[in-house]
Amino acid sequence: MNAKLIDGKLEAAKLRNELSLQVADFKREQGYVPTLVVVLVGDDPASQVYVRNKVKQTQEVGMNSLEHRLPASISQAELVGLVRKLNADKNVHGILVQLPLPKGLDSDAVIREISPDKDVDGLTELNAGRLSTGAFGADHGLVACTPLGSLKLIHSVKPDISGLEAVVIGRSNLFGKPMAQLLLQQNCTVTVAHSRTSNLANVCRRADILIAAVGRAELVKADWVKSGAIVIDVGINRVMIGEKAKLVGDVDFKGVSEVAGALSPVPGGVGPMTIAFLLRNTLEAARLGLNQ
């Protein structure tokens, strides 16, 4: 393996340590700790694991975490009613509705209901718009956690990325679009590729920074990658190796690690960073609440 391994667990642990101190300061100054509410609808096993980890880590940095577990049979109106109740509750600082929602529920409509100042996933139209118009920062809005985590991983190997060519594969609201905006703010030249991109391999080969968020196991091959590039693998894919299930990313780790300059693994790369930035956003949301 030639590439430097980008250690998301280590970077996330550093961020959580800093957050623990900041939460303690917040508590000393305000007399209470920030509270995150996670809403989990249905019984998707992967979502249950994510929510369990989010709740546990929120508590470990000293914040409150409450869970609302709802049956998949809940109506859209009931779910929206809960979000509105949480918006109005002064003791709730961050609201996270775990996605995907079960069939029959309109996640866009639910997200639209979340108060932008409590939108710790950065998914509301106001927060997405603030990011794309450049008004980015603690006083302005909340930014999606996985792109923030990915940028932090890139900075851990190269603090100044101004002028570099960045290619993001995937154009979702959750990841691809906010990632592209963050890279633009860093003065990268950004290309966003997707399922209709012609000759994806050629597009990827020009990237100094290549980020894959597709959901296709090991799509990105070694000959798609420029020598020395920074490669961030966001994908989470469950594949069966014989009888055993295994998690792999969107990047062919073994092949690409011979070509890339730095590479984030799956698991242990972007995943831990997403949760760490959720915690950071919860603290930011509590600070935003102080101004109201």
221 binds ligand NAP (CB under 6 A): no
Smallest distance from the beta carbon of 174 to ligand NAP, in angstroms? 4
**Active-site entry in 57, 117, 118, 121:** 121
Q: Supply the angle between the helices 270-290 and 45-60 in degrees, to the nearest 10.
A: 60
Asked if 231 touches ligand NAP (CB under 6 A), the answer is: no
Q: How far is the CB of 99 from ligand NAP (least distance, A)?
A: 8
- HSE of 39, CA atoms in CB hemisphere, 13 A: 30
Binding mask 95-134 for ligand NAP (x = CB under 6 A): ----------------------------------------
Kindly compute the dihedral angle of the four CA atoms of residues 185, 189, 192, 196, in this order, to the nearest 10 degrees: 160
Residue type, 130: R
Encoding tokens for residue 98? 């775990």
Q: Say whether 54 is catalytic.
A: yes
Half-sphere exposure of 103 (CA within 13 A, CB side): 0
Quick one: which segment of 54-62, 85-93, 208-216, 256-264 binds ligand NAP (CB under 6 A)?
Answer: 208-216
Q: Which amino acid is at 91?
A: N
Would you count residue 281 as binding ligand NAP (CB under 6 A)? no
Determine whether 98 is an active site residue: yes
d(CA 93, CA 108): 21
**Cα torsion angle, 224, 226, 227, 231, sign:** negative
Whole-angstrom Cα distance, residue 275 to residue 285?
15
Determine whether 267 is exposed, middle or buried from the number of CB atoms within 10 Å of its CB (0-12, 13-18, 19+). middle
> Is position 158 annotated as part of the catalytic site?
no
186 is an interface residue for ligand NAP by CB under 6 A:
no
CA distance 250 to 281: 26
Contact with ligand NAP (CB under 6 A) among 196, 241, 244, 292 = 196
Q: Per CB under 6 A, does 214 bind ligand NAP? A: yes
Q: Pattern 26-65, binding to ligand NAP, x per CB under 6 A?
A: ----------------------------------------
CA distance 212 to 167: 8
User: According to CB under 6 A, which one of 235, 251, 265, 281 is a site residue for ligand NAP?
Assistant: 235
Residue 147 found at the interface with ligand NAP (CB under 6 A): no
Alpha-carbon distance of 124 to 130, in angstroms, equals: 10
Q: How many chain residues are in contact with ligand NAP, going by CB under 6 A?
A: 25
> Which of 30, 195, 202, 227 is the binder for ligand NAP (CB under 6 A)?
195
CB 181, CB 130: distance < 8 Å: no
ω into 116 cis (within 30 of 0): no
Does residue 274 belong to the site contacting ligand NAP (CB under 6 A)? yes
**Given 51, 117, 123, 175, the residue binding ligand NAP (CB under 6 A):** 175
Q: Can residue 270 be called a binding residue for ligand NAP (CB under 6 A)?
A: yes
Q: Which residues bind ligand NAP (CB under 6 A)?
A: 146, 169-172, 174-176, 193-197, 200, 213-216, 234-237, 270-271, 274
Active site residues: 54, 98, 121
